[in-house]
Every structure is written in C-alpha cells, then in structure tokens.
Structure 1
Amino acid sequence: MTTLLPLPFFLGASAARAAQVCELNGQSVSPSNGSTTAGKTGLMRCKDTASGEIQREQQVQNGVFMGLVRFYEKGKLAREHSLNAKGNIQGRAREFSPTGQVLREAVYDDGQERGLVRSFYPGGQLRRATFYTGTGKDRAFVEFTERGQMAMLRCGETPVLAPVADDARLCGFVGGSSQVELFDARGTLRSRVSYASGKRVRSQEFYDNGKPSTLDETAGNRRTERSFSSEGIKRRETEWLLVERTAVRQREQEFSEKGVLVRDQRWTPAGDPIRDDSFHLNGQPRSRSVYSGAGSARMVEVTEFYDSGQRAASGRYLAPGRGRQVPVGTHQRFDEKGTLIAESSFDAQGRVTRERAWNESGELQRDDEVFEDGSRKAFTQ
C-alpha cells in the first residue's frame, strides 16, 4: 500500500509534473508511463520544457522508482527524500529555501514520520520540533519565535524533545514542577505554564498590557479556570471535578466589570444543578434557584427579589432535565413592601388553572378560573 506524502512534498510533486521532459541514461522516459522505465536502473532527470531548468531527479532501480528523489524550483533544490520499494518515504527528508537553508527535516519509517521533526526559519533558527511515535500522531512539540524565545510547548508522557529542548526540566519530570514562559513574535510575554511529570498544572495568559487574561490551575482532581478583564478584574471563575477522561463542572461564578459577584451556580459531582443564585450590583440577591429530588421528580424552587432584598416572587417547577422547567403548584408575586399582589395555580402539566390579584391594601380584586383554551370566569367554590 502506498502512503500519501506529507503536504509539502505532495504539493512539490504536483508542481514538478507540470510541462516537463525526462530522460534516463540518455533516453527519453515518462514517469507516468511505466513501459518507458521498465527494467531500467539509473537517475531520471526531468526539466521544464520552456526554460530547460531541472525540476526533478529520481532514482530508478530495475524499473521501480526507489531511492533518492529531488525536486527543484527555478533551478534550486527545494525538497529531497527517498522512497522504499513500496513507494513510501524512507529515511531522511528535507526542504530547503532558495538560499539552500534547511527549512524542514524529518526521518520517515515506511511513510510515517518518526522521532524529532524539525522546521526552521529562513535565517536558520529552529522554529518547531515535534516528536512522532511512528503512528502518524505527534506526541510532544516545542515552538520558538524568530528571536529564539519559546512560543509553545506540549509535553509528552516522558521526555522526548532533547536535544532541541530540555523537556525533562521544562515538563517537570525532574526537579519538581516547572515554570515556563512563552512569548509572541514581538517578544511580549503571553503565558506562564507549569508542568509536573508532563501534566500541565497551571497556565496563565496575558493581555498586551501585561495584565492576566486567564488563569487555569489543577490540584489533585480539581481544576479551576479564571478569566479577567484587561484591567485585571476577575470576570468568571469555574471549578471542575476531574473524573477519568472527563471534567464535570462543579461551580461557576460571574462578576461585573467592577468585580461584583452577579451569579453563582453549583452542581453535584454527577453534573446535576444544585443551586443558582444571581445578585443585583448593590450586592442584594436578584434570584435564587434551589434544586431537590431526582429523575422525573426533580424540582426547583425559584425566588426573585427586589434590589432592596425584599422578596418579589416565588414558585416551584418540575425540572426533569435538559433545562426544561414546568411550573407546578402555587406561584406568588409581592410588592416592594412584601404584600401579596398576585397568585397563579398550575396543574401537574404546567397549565395555569387559577389566577388571583390583590390591591396594595390586601383586598382581593380578581379571582379567575382559567381553562385550557385561555378563557376564564370568576372562580366559585
């Protein structure tokens, strides 16, 4: 089975097939016509028909394209690699700039990248090093800016990036947890990351002004995420419970532009909501939702408040899941003095069956029976 070449080589091969003439041992051949190369051995050379510039060199062994392959652009070597008998890349493969500087270097095993794959800036500085296990998946990598500062890092299960990076130390495999600083192309600090035994335990991102934008910390089976405004004020904090390969949200708090708590939500270890509180900017409660029960019988008691702290409304809902809520029982509304002013009764299907209203003196103004079609009449005992 022939493995597709990595994108850079594949594109180069496509470009090399455009309008060219090829020869092998002084004889005209066509790479797309196997009969012209059958049984032959040597180095096939292909040139552009218009300019005469060499575009491709490829070894042929007894009619099989096997061995060294080189692609040229405007007469300059651009890519080179070797093919095995199955047509897959084997051994070292490189890409070059027009000045001859190596831009990418990798080692292949039967078409799969293996070990450290390096890419470079045109000036020769290391740009990225990625470690491949031979399964086609990268295991760890490190990236650098053109200034030579580290820009990105992902650790593996064991140190694998030496000698281009000391990931034994950077990833916290030796000497305790690490602290790594990452920069952008301008030399601005973008994040600080800490690792312990290859696992990220803390990361902090920064705005252009140096203020923190996010903070992510892990301790044991708990993970905490925080986000901040560009002024450094905390706007959100989320706590997660780490369970096997997933994370279950346990608590989430939201804050105003001035850092005042405006919402506080909590969940069970299974991910079911327990409580949801919101607040006015003056610190008084805005609403409170308290959950109880389980499954189809799960309920939530909701209470709303004026900014004075006085209760404004209350009622119960069936909350069987997926955010669905069905009003049940009696729901009440109050004025700012705490006087009952309205009341609605609901059946088990969430349909309103009775509505009552009082004036501020507590005198009953309306008492209606409500029917399924929305019509109503004065309630009678």
Structure 2
Amino acid sequence: MFGRAQRLAFIGAWLVGAAGAAHAIQDCELDGAPINTSNGNTTAGKTGLIRCKDRDSGEVQREQQLQNGVFMGLVRYYEKGKLLKEHSVNAKGNMDGRAREFVPATGQVLRDALYSDGSEVGLVRGIYPSGQLRRLSFASSEAGSSGERAYVEYTERGQLSALRCADKPVLAPVIDDSKLCGFASAGTPSQVELFDGKGTLRMRVSYAAGKRVRNENLYDNGKPQTQDEIVGNQRTERRFSSEGVKRREVLWLLVERGAVKQREQEFSEQGSLVRDQRWTAAAEPLIDDSFYLNGQPRSKSVYAGTGDARTVDMAQFHDNGQRSMQGRYLAAGRSSRQMPIGTHQSFDDKGVLVAESVYDDKGRVTRERAFDENGKLQRDDEVFEDGSRKAFAK
C-alpha cells in the first residue's frame, strides 16, 4: 500500500492537470480494470499505466505510471484528447527527469526542462507556439549556486529582450553566451541590444566576464533615459530627460560590502549644473555647491575637521555673483542640524557689508552689528542669554 504523502502528491497533480475541467468526472482504470486512485487498496502492490477519462466525452485526460503500488514514472495530461504536458516523478513524488509542455492542437513543444528530485537542472527551454525560442535558462542544483543562474529571452520577432549572465558560459550549445557575456574577448566588454515586443530598441547592455558593467535604458524616441556604468572600482549613474539632456549624475565608490556615494550632480532642463555635492570615502560630506540658472553660484558649503570638531563654512550669493551671506557652523555627527559659531556676515547685492552677528561655541548670538548702504556702522549691540541687549561699549 502506498503512503499518504504519495496519494496527496498524486491527487495534487491531478488537480493541477484537471484545472480546465474542474467539474468533469473522471473514470480511471489500470490495465483495463477500474480503480479508485483515492483508495490505496485498489492500487496496492500493482504495476502498470493508469489512464483516466472524462465520463461524458470518453476523452483521455490523464495517464500515470504505477510501480508496485507507488505512483512513480511518467505522468501525462491531455486536453481534448491531445497531449498537454508530460513529466516523470520519483518515489518521493518529486519531478525527476524530462518535463515538457505542448500546444495540444499542433504538438509544438512550449517548454522543455530537466529535473532532479524536484529541482530544475541544466538548460530549460521556453518556446513560442510558432516554434521560435522564447526563453533559455540554465539552472543548477549545486550547493552555493542552486537555482537559475543565467538566461536569455527573445521576442516573437527573434530579437533579444533580456539577458542575465553567469560567472562562466553555461547556455551553449543553444546560445553562445561566451560572446554575449563578454567571455570571448579578454578585457573587452560585450555590446548587446535588447528590444521590446514591438521591435523597439529598449536597452543597451555590456558584460565583461559575466558581470554587467554598463546598461542604458532608452525612451520611445531612442534617446537615453538612464545609464549605469562600472569602471574599475567606480560606478556612475546618469538620468536624462526625454530630450536627451542629462539631469542627474551620481558617482559611487565600490567597496567590499556595497557602495559609498562620492559625488552627486543635478542639472537643469537646459543642462546647466544646479547642484554639486561631494563626500569622502567614509561617506562624510565634503562639498555642497548650488548654482543659479544663469551660471552664477547660489551657495557654497565646504566641510573640514573630524568628529565633534567637524565644521562647515557656508556662503550664499546674489544672482549677480556677489556674496549675500557667509558663516561657519558646527557639523558634528550625521544630523542635518548645524550650529552657528564665530562671525556671520550679510551683504547687499553690491557686496557691501550690511549686518554681522557673532556666536559663541554653544551657538548663542553674543553681538550684532548693522551697517548702512555705504558700509558705515549704524548699530553695535551686545546680546545676552535672555535676548536682551545693550550698545556695545566703545
């Protein structure tokens, strides 16, 4: 008598195969003798081919081999009397060996794969009803590299639409992935174009020894949308408008456990630089500059020091290039909150000093001065902790 797990596996497979005929009643037989596949007593110790037919139409819907009471061997499903799919199972009920799916009307193979104790192994083919290759993948059951490791996909037009490479060529002899994945020419990345179902070029990718080193996504008009490129230990990301104008560029330093942002630039719709940020290899801010659309500086921030003594010198500008403000802040830690220290000055659009504030090492203002349009001192106050003030002693 076969076990409960095997009965459940067989019943589950039957439910999958009979999904298109959920309300049909099947009559099963073994070597011409009626059996009940849900009753282990009718199959115990028996060997042969079970065949199940639709009671109303008499069409074969399922076949499965039985070996000494165990559902093991070939399994076939039919649709209107035509073969729909077939595979084999081992004594544990797991798929083992070749598995195929078909177009019932024509017999065209739609999928062709090999299994080892329930896992796909080797080359797996997916095929369009026309016979054109749709997908080819390579699967491994080895420890540490199990599962799908590489694949290519094609449109019905036969154009390449997707690509994933392994650490070595694995798709031969069906596909020459040594060339596609940059193994054929040492040091020279491959150049691959990917298309959508309408035949429109959607992406350009490059691989070197199986690693993707560049990819470019395209708009409908063929202009670049995004770019991602690796050179040495640096990775560069770019984003473009649909008119082909670069709007953003980010440079990363590749390290053992990921990547550290080194520089980020933002550009206007016309392509002029509007912001430029830089970081150290330890991911600490280094420079943060912004610009007006006329090209003049808008603000500049320069970081220095380490730890609790880390500071940032900031300057802001009028759109004619004249400074409007400058001062220093404490920028300890990763908090965006910064504390003013030292002397901070404000200027008019002619560059004339109009105001000045002095802060102590706790960020408290201690002195304020005001000047007229000619730079002549008008007010000089000492400021106290409670906000009160008095004219600074001369």
TM-score range with shorter-chain normalisation?
Answer: 0.7 to 0.9
Whole-angstrom distance in 1 between the partners of 2:14 and 2:366 = 71
Shift of 1:340: 3.2
Q: Kindly tell me: are residues 377 and 174 of structure 1, through their superposed partners in 2, closer, same or farther at Cα, counting changes over 3 Å?
A: same
Residue 137 (structure 1) aligned with residue 128 (structure 2): no
Whole-angstrom distance in 1 between the partners of 2:63 and 2:362 = 78
Q: Kindly tell me: are residues 37 and 274 of structure 1, through their superposed partners in 2, closer, same or farther at Cα, counting changes over 3 Å?
A: same
Matching residue of 1:301 = 313
Whole-angstrom distance in 1 between the partners of 2:369 and 2:56 = 92
Q: Secondary structure at the match of 1:320?
A: coil
Shift of 1:354: 6.0
CA offset digits 1:36-60 (Å, max 9, x no partner): 4332222223344555543322222
Matching residue of 2:110 = 103
Which shifted more, 49-58 or 154-163? Answer: 49-58
Q: Kindly tell me: are residues 133 and 369 of structure 1, through their superposed partners in 2, closer, same or farther at Cα, counting changes over 3 Å?
A: same
Matching residue of 2:70 = 64
Whole-angstrom distance in 2 between the partners of 1:50 and 1:345 = 96
Which shifted more, 34-43 or 173-182? Answer: 34-43
> In the alignment, which of 23, 26, 30 is matched to residue 28 of structure 2?
23
Matching residue of 1:288 = 300
Matching residue of 2:159 = 149
Matching residue of 2:352 = 339
- Are the counterparts in 2 of residues 57 and 69 from structure 1 also a CA contact under 8 Å? yes
CA offset digits 1:149-196 (Å, max 9, x no partner): 111111111111112211111212113422122221111222222222
| Residue-pair matches, total | 373
CA offset digits 1:266-285 (Å, max 9, x no partner): 11122222111111111111
Whole-angstrom distance in 2 between the partners of 1:46 and 1:341 = 96
Q: Kindly tell me: are residues 341 and 56 of structure 1, through their superposed partners in 2, closer, same or farther at Cα, counting changes over 3 Å?
A: farther
Q: What percentage of residue pairs aligned between the two structures are identical? A: 61
Whole-angstrom distance in 1 between the partners of 2:104 and 2:321 = 73
Shift of 1:307: 0.9
Whole-angstrom distance in 1 between the partners of 2:64 and 2:20 = 12
- Are the counterparts in 2 of residues 369 and 376 from structure 1 also a CA contact under 8 Å? yes
Name the amino acid aligned to 1:98. Answer: P
Residue 161 (structure 1) aligned with residue 178 (structure 2): no
Q: Kindly tell me: are residues 268 and 61 of structure 1, through their superposed partners in 2, closer, same or farther at Cα, counting changes over 3 Å?
A: same
- Are the counterparts in 1 of residues 298 and 319 from structure 2 also a CA contact under 8 Å? yes
Name the amino acid aligned to 1:334. Answer: F
Which shifted more, 47-56 or 21-30? Answer: 47-56
CA offset digits 1:331-373 (Å, max 9, x no partner): 33322122333445555555666655545354445847465xx
Shift of 1:64: 1.5
Deviating runs (4+, > 6 A) in structure 1? none
- Are the counterparts in 2 of residues 315 and 327 from structure 1 also a CA contact under 8 Å? no
Q: Kindly tell me: are residues 376 and 24 of structure 1, through their superposed partners in 2, closer, same or farther at Cα, counting changes over 3 Å?
A: same
State the TM-score, normalizing by the size of structure 1: 0.87
Q: Secondary structure at the match of 1:325?
A: coil
Matching residue of 2:121 = 114
Whole-angstrom distance in 1 between the partners of 2:282 and 2:199 = 44
Counterpart mapping for 1:166-181 below 5 A: 166-176=176-186, 177=188, 178-181=190-193
Matching residue of 1:229 = 241
Shift of 1:320: 3.1
Can you give the 5+ residue segments of structure 1 that lack an aligned partner in the other structure?
none
Which shifted more, 38-47 or 256-265? Answer: 38-47
Residue 93 (structure 1) aligned with residue 99 (structure 2): yes
Q: Kindly tell me: are residues 43 and 306 of structure 1, through their superposed partners in 2, closer, same or farther at Cα, counting changes over 3 Å?
A: same
Which shifted more, 118-127 or 315-324? Answer: 315-324
Matching residue of 2:16 = 12
- Are the counterparts in 2 of residues 326 and 350 from structure 1 also a CA contact under 8 Å? no
- Are the counterparts in 2 of residues 79 and 94 from structure 1 also a CA contact under 8 Å? yes
State the TM-score, normalizing by the size of structure 2: 0.84
Matching residue of 1:376 = 387
CA offset digits 1:285-312 (Å, max 9, x no partner): 1111111122333222221111111111
CA offset digits 1:231-269 (Å, max 9, x no partner): 222222222222224222212211111111111111112
Q: Kindly tell me: are residues 306 and 48 of structure 1, through their superposed partners in 2, closer, same or farther at Cα, counting changes over 3 Å?
A: farther
Name the amino acid aligned to 1:65. Answer: F
Q: Secondary structure at the match of 1:254?
A: strand
Q: Secondary structure at the match of 2:171?
A: coil
Which shifted more, 113-122 or 182-191? Answer: 182-191
CA offset digits 1:202-227 (Å, max 9, x no partner): 32332222222233332222222222
Whole-angstrom distance in 1 between the partners of 2:260 and 2:166 = 24
Q: Kindly tell me: are residues 327 and 69 of structure 1, through their superposed partners in 2, closer, same or farther at Cα, counting changes over 3 Å?
A: same
Whole-angstrom distance in 2 between the partners of 1:51 and 1:345 = 96
Matching residue of 2:373 = 360
Can you give the 5+ residue segments of structure 2 that lack an aligned partner in the other structure?
none
Whole-angstrom distance in 2 between the partners of 1:235 and 1:10 = 56
Whole-angstrom distance in 1 between the partners of 2:170 and 2:252 = 30
- Are the counterparts in 1 of residues 379 and 391 from structure 2 also a CA contact under 8 Å? no
